Structures are given as structure tokens and as C-alpha cells.
Amino acid sequence: MSISIEFPDGSKKPFDDGVNVLDVAKSISTSLGKKAIAGKFNGELVDLDRPLKQDGKLAILTNQDADALVVLNDTAAFILAAVLKQTYPKMHFGEGHSTADGFFYDTDNADGQVTVNDLSTLKEKMMKLVKANGEIKRVLVSKETLLKEFAGDPYKESLINAEAGVEVPAFQLGDFIDFGYRALLKKAGEAKVFDLLSVAGAYWQGKSSNPMLQRIYGTAFYKQADLDADLKRRSEIKERDHRTLGRELDLFFVDPKVGAGLPYWMPNGATIRRTIERYIIDREVAAGYEHVYTPVLANLDLYKQSGHWDHYRDDMFPPMDMGDGEMLELRPMNCPSHIQIYQHHLRSYRELPIRIAELGMMHRYEKSGALSGLQRVREMTLNDGHTFVRPDQIQDEFKNILKLMMSVYDDFDITDYTFRLSYRDPQNTEKYFDDDEMWNKSQAMLKGAMDDLGLDYYEAEGEAAFYGPKLDVQTKTALGNDETLSTIQLDFMMPEKFHLVYTGEDGEEHRPVMIHRGVISTMERFIAYLTEIYKGAFPTWLAPTQVDIIPVNLDLHVKYAETIQKQLLAEGIRVKIDKRNEKMGYKIREAQTQKIPYTIVVGDQEVEDATVSVRPYSAEKAEREDLNVFLDAVVAEVHNYSRTGKKNKAEAKLDK
């Protein structure tokens, strides 16, 4: 019997049934046989020993392929486990494998958990094992044998029992055996470039009701230079972290003595925030939204009616008992407030869509372990809006919102994001509003709208709100954690619960649909995000101080500096004169470390011919410019929401 293997270049070759991947690689060329790390057979990662028993497409992976890194990191995880087993014979093991940027292994040790202090010893032992360069063999073993191998280990036992079939494909190095990998390197010595990074708790199988294991994180590469670069990248994350920059640039602080998760905005941060708030209100008003103000406190009944109390009680501040039977609640969400606005008048079908928006302050009692700088706080101001539409207006309104969102991203130079369609979890429907037809219909509606617009997205089950599916715009923080930047949520439930109606053309009452949407998230989270993507160098229109004027000589040039300041202030530019009794170099250094967009120096030459010496942030040197030219350029830049004077392009893109 022979099988036909197709290669990436489209060519096909016959092989004996049961030929292994390595032999196929060798048959192509000796060098490929040497370089081969694993294969990809019909899209599935396979190790070199794997016998091929059917026709299919095969790609031989070398260390140039991205998937080869998966094999390497899986191998590193395997070697770590081998060392752990040898070091702590009583240790129990959870899962362990490669991740997007490294590998991990979950452990549970009765005689004291592994801590960061143990990592260097473990690393040394791994190095030793790697140097011994033993062969890693693929073996098929019975579940029985594996169960004996991991006797007394409840986690491994459950993993073994979860395997399909009687025999489990496993890998063996010396007398250590482990399973759950698709492909590993053939020689332990090939996994010599790695590092152990950290230890963190992780629930067994990701369930918080399960015991917590210790997860050991590491990363591995084929070349030392790649590892060095990666370690450097990890250490540079701190320079981009909004908490570090927030302190350095004096944007905000959180002081546990006056309240964990309750940020204080310093003048610099407040300036950025105010600028963004004015911007987004203007954009939304221009897009047909009516901005309102509603109270941060409401009768608890409001949240009982909306369902928030039922679903999120644990994450809400406890109600205030006013003593006369009234219970007041710090609002955790604005939607019920905007529903009150809608209900305050009788609504006609002619008015819809009605778009209500607010920079609404909310309070949520986030768990202490979840708090993080401005990214997770207990008091936040949400760029919130609710549009009330007729069912036939849903798709159009969805597109309107999306258009606004992308246009706003353009003004902030936000380019790194993905769309996620968030559906309910079909395995766990009791968490959600109970109406199968509604879910199926609205999920299909969202998908249809995205397909219509030709936008790429991925689908995620279990990420919906309890009242409806949503489109989330996902991005990443400096640390690489996922974060929702914007969201559009379809809601058929709240209108039901609050008996919302409008009078139709037929004179009858009809139920509107609510669309919840947030364009720039909360002010807190958005500014944290911007701080990270700009690395603290805010574009001119957002920068707390836009121009810093440094007079060469305090006696001779301050007057001219003040004339310039007056002119800039008249144009609404945020400008400061550095009148401190310090040397120029000192002031320039500080202006640069504070990432002020423009530092201008004025001395005799500038006074004489009405110029300024301009040094933009991060520029190596200054250039002299006519004062009026500089002024016009800065003003234009601020109006274009940028530092480069470019115009918004997203609107044109979607405006078809």
C-alpha cells in the first residue's frame, strides 16, 4: 500500500503507508532531514516519528517556522516537568504546554509550593538535563501504564481519563514520561535556549471553585539572540506601563489610604481627560446623540428591575439603608438611568432612533485582586450611550455606531485592534436572558452586519452580556492582556423589563430595541491605553503642556518669552515659561523627559528677528522658525488631532 503526500509547493509524491515524517523530510533532501523539527500534516502539528497512514498535505517545519516555536516551547515545558518530577517526587501536575509567548507548567507540591526563589535552581537542573542531550521518544502507552506512572496524582489522573482511546500518545525522556503534546523535539539538547520567568497561581482547569496550582512560566527560543531580545522586550514593558508613566508624567495617583481603586487625577492627567471628554462629546453630538446628566445614586429597586442586582450583586457596593425603608445604591451601570430619560416622555416612531449619551460616573466594587492602575478601578466614568431604535433600524444604527468608532480611532491613531462577536455560552444558558429565539436572531443580525461591511472578526462564545450579544473591539495592554476598547450591544431584554414603548404609525404601542454602546470605554481605561500606545508622548492636541518656552537669560529674554506666551494662550495653546534659575541644558532635559511636544528657546537672536528656536520632542536638534509660522503650525496640528497634520480617513473608508 502506498499513500500520496502533497507538499506546500503543490507537488505530490507516493510513500509507503506508515512512513514517518522524518523519512519524508530526508527523502526531499539530506539537509531538510537535518533541519526538520516537526511536520504539519493536514494542518495538524505532528512530530518527526509520527507514521503517516493516509493521503494528505505535509509541510516540514524547520526552526524558521512560527509553529516550530510551539514545538520548542512544548519541549521546554516537558523538560521542566521532568526536572520537577525528579526534584519533588511527591509533586502533582496539572497542565503544561506552550503559550503565545512561552510555556508553563502547573504544579501542586504538598511540601511547600514552588516559589520564584526556586527558579534558578530549577533552571540549572534543566540545563543539566538539556546538556545530557537525551533522546525524546514518541511512545504509545496504555492508560493503565500512565495511571501507574502518575499514581496518586488527581490532576494527571483526570487528564489521562479524559484522553480518547485505550492507548495515549506520549513522550519519553529517560524514565520520565508525559503526554498531551502534539510534537516535541527529538533531542533534549535542541531546547537549550530558554529561561524560567515567574510563578503565579492558577486554578485547576480555570475554575475558581477548583484548587489553586502553582504555574511556572518560562520561554524558549532557537537562538540566544532571540531570547535576549525577548527578555529585553519584557523589561521594556515597564517603560510603556501607564502606571509608571502616570507617575513620571504626574498624571494620576491611587492612594490606598484614601481608597483602593479610586484614582485622583493630577492637573496633567485632568487636562488630557478634559480634552478627550470635550472631543468625544462634540463627536457624539455631531453624530446625533443628546448628552445628558443623571445621578450616581438611585433607588435599589431600579437595579432590581434591570436585573443588575441579580447578576452583579457581588460586584456592587452595598446599598445604603436610609432608615425609612429607602435603599439607595451607587450605580454600577448607566443603562437604567437612560431608560428613565426615554420614559420621561411619550415617544413616537418618528423620533427614533433616540440617542442618549453621557459621560456617566459609575461605581463597582471590583475584587481587590482585580484592581490595576487606571485599567481596573472602583469608580469610573464611562463614555456611555444608548440608542433606542425600531427593529427595522437596528442594522443601520449598528453601522452608524461602527462608523463613529472607527473615525474616532483614526483621530487617536489607534490601529491595533480586532473585532470580536461575543455570543452567549450555549453550554451555560441559564446565565443569560431566557429567550432562545432572541439570541439566535440577534447573533445572526450582528454577524450579518459585519459581513455586510466586509470587516474581519472572530467569534467568541460565552462573552456576551447577560441581556444580549455584542460586538467588542479588542486590544492589548502593555503587559499583553486583552482589553475591550469599544462595544456595541444589542438588547431586547431591558425594553421588556421596563415596558418601553413608542407609538407606531398604526397608533399602537410597539417595543423599541436598545443598543448599548461605548466608543472609548471609560475615561480611566482609555487614558491608560493611550498612555501605553503613545509611550507617554501624547500628540500635541492631548499633551498637558504643549509648548515649553526657555529663555536663555532670565533678565534679558523673559519679556519676549511672555509676548510669545500671550499669543499662544490667545490661540488656546497650553504653554509654560521655565523661569527657574537653572542652566538651559537642565531645562531642556526636563522638557524632553516630560515629553512636551515643543520646546522653544529664545535668546538674543530670536528677539532680534522675531523667531523661535524650536525643538520638537525626541528631535536631536532645534531649528529656527518665524514665530508666526510656528504658531500657525501648532494651531493646525491641534485642530487635526495629531502631530503630523494628517486628516481623518476612516469616515471616507466606510462612507459608501
Partner RNA sequence: GCCGCUUUAGCUCAGCAGGUAGAGCAUCACCAUGGUAAGGUGGGGGUCGCCGGUUCAAAUCCGGCAAGCGGCUCCA
Q: What are φ and ψ of residue 209, in 5° steps?
A: -85, -10
| Minimum distance, C-beta of residue 233 to RNA, in the bound complex (Å) | 13
- Could you say which residues in the range 225-254 bind RNA, by CB under 7 A? 241, 243, 247, 254
Whether the CB-CB separation of 457 and 433 falls below 8 Å is answered with: no
Site for RNA in 496-555 (CB under 7 A): 516, 552-555
Name the strand (E) or helix (H) holding 476. Answer: strand 470-476
Q: Is 462 left (phi over 0), alpha (psi -120 to 50) or beta?
A: left
Q: In angstroms, rounded to a whole number, what is the distance separating the alpha carbons of residues 160 and 150?
A: 9
Nearer to RNA, 552 or 650 (CB): 552
Range 117-176, binding RNA (CB under 7 A): 117
**Rounded (10°) CA dihedral 141, 142, 144, 149:** 10
19-20 vs 51-52, strand pairing mode: antiparallel
**Between residues 186 and 308, which has the closer beta carbon with respect to RNA?**
308
Stretch that binds RNA, among 14-22, 87-95, 575-583, 627-635 (CB under 7 A): 575-583
Report 374-403 residues binding RNA (CB under 7 A): 376
Q: Say if residue 353 is preceded by a cis peptide, omega within 30 of 0.
A: yes
CA–CA distance from 217 to each of 61, 171, 195, 233, 422 (Å)? 25, 21, 9, 16, 29
Which segments within 334-450 are labelled E, that is strand?
Answer: 354-363, 379-389, 418-423
Contacts with RNA in 431-490 (CB under 7 A)? 465-466, 479-482, 484, 487, 489
Q: Which stretch binds RNA (CB under 7 A): 52-60, 111-119, 133-141, 162-170?
A: 111-119
Among 340, 372, 418, 648, binds RNA (CB under 7 A): 372
Q: What is the DSSP string of 31-85?
A: HHHHH--EEEETTEEE-TTPEE-S-EEEEEE-TTSHHHHHHHHHHHHHHHHHHHH
Using CA atoms, how far apart are residues 419 and 413, in angstroms rounded to an integer?
A: 17
How many binding residues for RNA (CB under 7 A)? 77
Stretch that binds RNA, among 22-30, 196-204, 637-645, 646-654 (CB under 7 A): 196-204
**Contact characters 582-621, RNA, x per CB under 7 A:** xxxxx-xx--xx-----x-xxxxxx------x-x--x--x
- Specify the stretch interacting with RNA by CB under 7 A; choose among 165-173, 219-227, 359-367, 564-572: 359-367
Asked whether 398 and 353 are in contact (CB, 8 A), the reply is no
What grid cell was written down for 182?
502534539
Would you give the binding string for RNA spanning residues 298-337, x where CB under 7 A is met?
Answer: ----------x--xx--xx---------------xx-x--
Q: Shortest distance, CB of residue 200 to RNA, whole angstroms?
A: 3
Please say which residue, 13 or 240, places its beta carbon nearer to RNA: 240
Distance CA 528, CA 273 (A): 11
Q: Does 282 bind RNA (CB under 7 A)?
A: no
Range in contact with RNA (rule: CB under 7 A) among 75-83, 275-283, 411-419, 577-585: 577-585
Which 34-93 positions form the footprint of RNA (CB under 7 A)? none
- Other CB atoms within 10 Å distance of the CB of residue 116: 12
Which CB, 340 or 503, lies closer to RNA? 340
Minimum CB–partner distance for residue 571 and RNA (Å) = 22
